[in-house]
Chain A
Amino acid sequence: MQTILEMKNITKNFGGVKALNNVNFKVTAGEIHALVGENGAGKSTLMNILSGVLPYGTYSGDIFYKGKHCVFRSIRDSEKNGIVIIHQELALVPYLSIGENIFLGNERAKRGVIDWEKTYSEATKILRMVGLHDNPHMLIKDLGVGKQQLVEIAKALAKDVQLLILDEPTAALNEEDADNLLRLLLELKKNGITSILISHKLHEVIKVADSITILRDGATIETLQVEHGGINEDRIIKGMVGRELVDRFPKRQPRIGDVYFEVKNWNVYDPLIEGRKVIKDVSLKVHKGEIVGISGLMGSGRTEFAMSIFGKAYGRNISGQVFKDGRELQLDTVQQAINNGLAYVTEDRKTAGLIGIEDIKHNISLSSLNKISKRGIIDDDLENAAATTYREKLNIKSSSIFQKVQNLSGGNQQKVVLAKWIFAAPDILILDEPTRGIDVGAKYEIYNIINQLAEEGKAIIFISSELPEILGICDRIYVMNEGRIVGELMKEEASQESIMKCIMQSNRGRY
């Protein structure tokens, strides 16, 4: 087995902070090598150094690629050597076609004039390789995220990639698309392409990786060989957090009260596409002190359902009834929803949950300004006191309440969003993917917060794509598919298999 890449004693400082400390990383030719670690462990930094995003000279240590000492001053340098990185945020231009995107910056051209014939014929060929059969003239914006991810890989193939780096490629994909992508990685491996896979989804890592390197706090902890056996999620997590995480989900004794929140015959139409029904006749109820999960694949309508209830923030021609404590609610605006004790924590904290350029304090108070103001005038002292309280209570790691939220880590940002809604003192909380993209430690803290809220007698709706999480913390689970509730399972009867069975059966029913 030949070593294709070796990174030796890599050290990198950001300001005064050591992001990487003497990291060693070795990849064998033709393997899929997973790189795992908590957020902030240094995975992305290491890959940015390898791909030249952080140029030679800004770090110390050496990179050997195919036995040669390499100096990468820019992405172009590394790409010339066949090293291509695909970032978490896709770098595609929505209003250009698939073909144009594949050869972006790498155009099939003669003396600056693009050869469209060649562009599209080669694009078609490369698309076949990644298993896409769409017309290369299609615009990127008309593709789903899963297919866009495949186009990114096609783009890498167009550059004659030999070492492919994927940063969280499945984070935004549903189970089916993710499986598809992993299969493609195995396919590429057969063709001799080496991959480095950064992922939080450990079951995927175990499925495809040949070796796994664990980083923690900017240092290499260990490299595990999957073929040696004995590798499971707990083993990896132990390496990532440095201790045995006995229980990934904190224990709780549910004290479930009466039915508190109820939705009846909820129907929602797509706001853009005339006549397309997104939510079909959904009814559900939540008891006091109960955590109710909504499980389902991405695109099953969970978010649309939640947002349409939250003051009709999504959809049109909404019909149905919402009851709280037996009384019917009128929820036409977000303000009405908040006044009636609802809170909705969005799945996308960056674009819809937080104001990045503002500080922690302003974000926490945003939906409760009436609590800290008199006759429309804000009382600074009250606002500071509230922010300070929640910063401590939720353990938001920051320099002060005056730190801008865009400079916080994902986990701490999520805590700010939660703080904002807890401060609003809702009776019913809808949490949409509250732990997406955050590390194991922060997840545990957030589960604790959610348990605490249930303990206080609040009714909680918990939406998540991660089945283990839904199973771990919910008392009862609704399964959603194609805008319908297709199953309801008590904690005892719920399992990954039973949930998937509900989805599959409902799919079969349609055909």
Chain B
Amino acid sequence: MENGKMKPAAKVTSIGYTIRTNMRQYAMLIALIVIMIFFQIATDGVLLVPMNVTNLILQNSYVLILAIGMTLCILTGGNIDLSVGSVAAFTAAIVGTLVINKKMDVTLALTIGLLIGAVIGSWQGFWIAYVRIPPFIATLAGMLIFRGLTNTILKGLTLSPFPRSFQKISSGYIPDIFPNLTNLNMTPIVIAAVSSLLLLYVQIRNRKRKFENSREIMPRSLFVAQLIIVILAINLFALALAAHKGLPIILVILGVLIFVYHFFTTKTVPGRYIYALGGNEKAAILSGIDTKKVLFFVYLNMSVLSAIAGIAFAARTNSAFPLMGNGFEMDAIAACFIGGASSTGGIGTVIGAIIGALVMGVLNNGMSIMGIGSDWQMTIKGFVLLMAVAFDVYSKTKSK
């Protein structure tokens, strides 16, 4: 250190180093982009036509919501929640009964739906955190219990149709703020522009702060390139939405959830507790963390998100039916692992799980457009999951 007792200067790392150390973060994002380019070509450009982009979001909204909650479960120690599909169906069945048969006010019914999610979550959280039933078993039981109850409530029949106001959750759009300006729906464009500026401001401020606090920063060229790519992606995406029907309501819900949970896991004290619990439970306990409370909360949260996913799915299919939500849990779990979560806990991010869910979603959608049967779709998804995790394991052993 040449400047003696002064603060050490900020270190600008080399491009190669930055890419190497962030390899695992970038890998799945790059994979997602590659998969998108592949299907864009293979489907003669159908994948990214405005209508299909909107569809992609609508189709996968429930997996994205579940993947957020599942990330937290997996973080606590590789624990999964098998009951999410059943809980989603159960909630949808109750809300459906209230809205369709009992003609209840939609807002009130939705509130009740969320409360039911919370009650179920407390039930499962109690067994897992305080009685110490392994989560796999407790939620397997929940999977059976709530599937059974769904059947009981629906008497084996399908409930349909929901009122318009309910369907809007998954098929409505935010109104155009400047309706008569252009052919495009201006809402997504304005929001994208504002968030681009906000992102620019936050990123530059963070870089400056890191620089002042003598932290490692990436080279300017890479920083600029990264910003340009992200901002370009946001705006192109917004343009696609604008060219179709505008900003879907469910996307707003998703955006808020992703932002809140990303912030929660990376910046807050309880978020840190979840990572600590998964990293080393004993050490967490001896550091004064109430690990039971953390585990309880995580499963409570998972069921609330399952309820939201169930409502969103019911609104999209405009029905509640006995088999609804079958296999949701596997989609969500796969998304988390594709997104880099560790099966022993303590490692993983919400953003990673979202990318993982999008990988699965684009695969589904792209193969459907190509006319590949669902049998092969499933096989291919299985291989992708295996390869993604194998890559993760490989890069981990290599970095040692």
Chain A positions within 8 Å of B, measured between CB atoms, are 310-311, 313, 333-335, 337-338, 344, 346, 351-358, 362, 366-367, 369-370, 373, 376-378, 380-381, 384-385, 400, 402, 420
Are A376 and B270 in contact, with the CB atoms below 8 A?
yes
B190 at the interface (CB under 8 A from A): no
A346 to B282, alpha carbons, bound, how many Å? 10
Give which listed residue, A353, A358, A378, contacts B269 with CB less than 8 A. A378
Shortest CB-to-CB span from B186 to chain A, Å, is: 34
Query: Would A353 and B283 be within 8 Å (CB), given that A367-B288, A381-B209, A400-B216 are in contact?
Result: yes
Given the contacts A352-B282, A376-B269, A381-B213, A358 and B346 also touching, CB distance less than 8 Å: yes
- In the complex, besides A358-B276, A381-B213, 15 extra interface pairs with C-beta distance below 8 angstroms are A313-B285, A334-B285, A334-B286, A352-B282, A352-B286, A355-B279, A355-B283, A355-B346, A362-B272, A362-B275, A362-B276, A366-B283, A366-B284, A369-B272, A378-B268
19 A-B contact pairs sorted by A residue (CB < 8 Å): A310-B286, A334-B286, A334-B287, A334-B288, A346-B286, A352-B282, A352-B283, A353-B286, A355-B280, A355-B283, A357-B279, A366-B283, A367-B287, A370-B269, A373-B269, A377-B267, A378-B269, A385-B213, A402-B216
Residue of B285, B288, B347 ringed by the most chain A CB atoms within 10 A = B288
The answer for the CA separation of A370 and B273 in the assembled complex, in Å, is: 12
A357 and B272 contacting across the interface, CB-CB below 8 Å: no
Whether B286 lies near A351 (C-beta < 8 A) is: no
B245 within 8 A of A: no
Residues of A within 8 A of B267 (CB): 377-378, 380
Query: B208: shortest Cβ distance to chain A, in Å?
Result: 12
> Please, which residue of chain B has its CB at the minimum distance from the CB of A367?
B287
Residues of the A chain whose Cβ atoms lie less than 8 Å from the Cβ of B342: 357
CB distance from B177 to the nearest CB of A (A): 32
**A335: which B residues are within 8 A, CB to CB?**
288-290
Q: Which residue of the partner chain B has the closest CB to A381?
A: B213
B215 at the interface (CB under 8 A from A): yes
Are A366 and B285 neighbours in the complex by a CB distance under 8 Å?
A: no
Given A362-B272, A376-B270, A384-B215, check contact A354 B283 (CB 8 Å): yes
Q: Are B288 and A357 in contact (CB under 8 A)?
A: no
Quick check: B268 and A376 within 8 Å, CB to CB? yes
A372 (CB) vs chain B CBs: closest residue? B269
Structural contact, B269 and A337, CB atoms closer than 8 A: no
Residues of B within 8 A of A313 (CB): 285-286
A384 and B213 in contact, given A352-B282, A369-B269, A377-B267 (Cβ under 8 angstroms): yes
A373: nearest chain-B partner, CB-CB: B269
Q: Which residues of B contact A367 (CB under 8 A)?
A: 287-288
Q: Complex Cα distance A370/B285, Å?
A: 16
Of the candidates B209, B215, B268, B280, which one forms a contact with A351 in the assembled complex, judged by CB atoms under 8 Å apart? B280
Residues of A within 8 A of B284 (CB): 355, 366
Contacts of A377 in B (CB 8 A): 267-269
Contact B268 A354 (CB under 8 A): no
Q: Mark B92-136, 1 if CB is under 8 A from A, else 0.
A: 000000000000000000000000000000000000000000000
Tell me the smallest distance from the CB of B293 to a CB of chain A, in Å: 10
250-308 of chain B: CB within 8 A of chain A:
267-270, 272, 275-276, 279-280, 282-290
Which chain A positions have C-beta within 8 A of B270? 376
Which residues of B have CB within 8 Å of A362? 272, 275-276
Bound-state CA distance A311–B289 (Å) is: 11
Size of B's binding interface in residues, CB under 8 A: 25
Please, how many angstroms separate the alpha-carbon atoms of A156 and B279 in the complex? 35
Tell me which residues across on chain A come within 8 A of B268, comparing CB atoms.
373, 376-378
**Chain A residues in 8 Å Cβ range of B283:** 346, 351-355, 366
- A338 adjacent to B288 (CB under 8 Å): yes
Residues of B with C-beta under 8 A to A311: 288
Contact, CB under 8 Å: A337 / B288: yes
Give the residue name and chain of the A residue nearest to B270 (CB).
A376
The residue on B at minimum CB distance from A354 is B283
Q: Which 3 A-B pairs have the closest CB atoms?
A: A355-B279, A367-B287, A352-B282
What A residues does B216 contact at CB under 8 A? 400, 402
A356 partner, pick from B215, B272, B275, B280, beta carbons under 8 A: B280
Contact at B286–A356, with CB atoms within 8 Å?
A: no
Cβ of B276 to closest chain A Cβ, rounded Å = 6
Task: List chain B residues, Cβ under 8 A from A384.
Answer: 213, 215
A358 to B277, CA, bound (A): 11
| Closest-CB distance, A188 to chain B (whole angstroms) | 36
- Cα–Cα distance between A367 and B288 once the two chains are bound (Å): 6
Q: Which residues of chain A are within 8 angstroms of B285 by Cβ–Cβ distance?
A: 313, 334
CB distance from B347 to the nearest CB of A (A): 6
A161 CB to nearest chain B CB (Å): 31
> Among B268, B282, B290, B347, which residue has the most Cβ atoms of chain A within 10 A?
B282
Q: How far is the CA of A245 from the CA of B289 in the complex (A)?
A: 41
Closest to A417 in B: B283
When distances are taken between beta carbons in the complex, the residues of chain B under 8 Å from A333 are 288, 290
> Which B residues lie within 8 Å of A358 (CB)?
275-276, 279, 346
Query: Most chain-B Cβ atoms within 10 A of its Cβ — which of A351, A353, A355, A357?
Result: A355
Interfacial chain A residues near B290, Cβ < 8 Å? 333, 335
The minimal Cβ–Cβ distance linking A317 to chain B, given in whole angstroms, is 20
Please measure, in the bound complex, the distance between the C-alpha atom of A381 and the C-alpha atom of B342, giving whole angstroms.
28
Set B272, B286, B346: member contacting A378, Cβ < 8 A: B272
Q: A369-B269, A378-B267, A400-B216 are in contact. Are A357 and B347 (CB under 8 A)?
A: yes
Given contacts A334-B288, A335-B290, A346-B286, is CB(A355)–CB(B269) below 8 Å? no
Q: Which chain B residue shows the least CB distance to A339?
A: B288
- CA A362 to CA B280, docked complex, whole Å: 12
* Closest residue on chain B to residue A365 by CB atoms: B272
**Which residue on chain A has the smallest CB distance to residue B273?**
A369
User: Bound complex: CA of A352 vs CA of B267, how far in Å?
Assistant: 24
* Closest CB in chain A relative to B400 CB, distance in Å: 9
Cα separation A346 to B290 with both chains bound (whole Å): 18
Complex Cα spacing A352 to B213, Å: 32
Complex Cα–Cα for A313 and B290 (A): 11
CA distance A362 to B285 in the complex (A): 15
Which residues 189-233 of B have a CB within 8 angstroms of A?
A: 209, 213, 215-216
Query: Which chain B positions have C-beta within 8 A of A380?
Result: 267
- B302-346 contacts to A (CB < 8 Å): 342, 346
Chain B residues contacting A357 (CB-CB under 8 Å) are 279, 342, 346-347
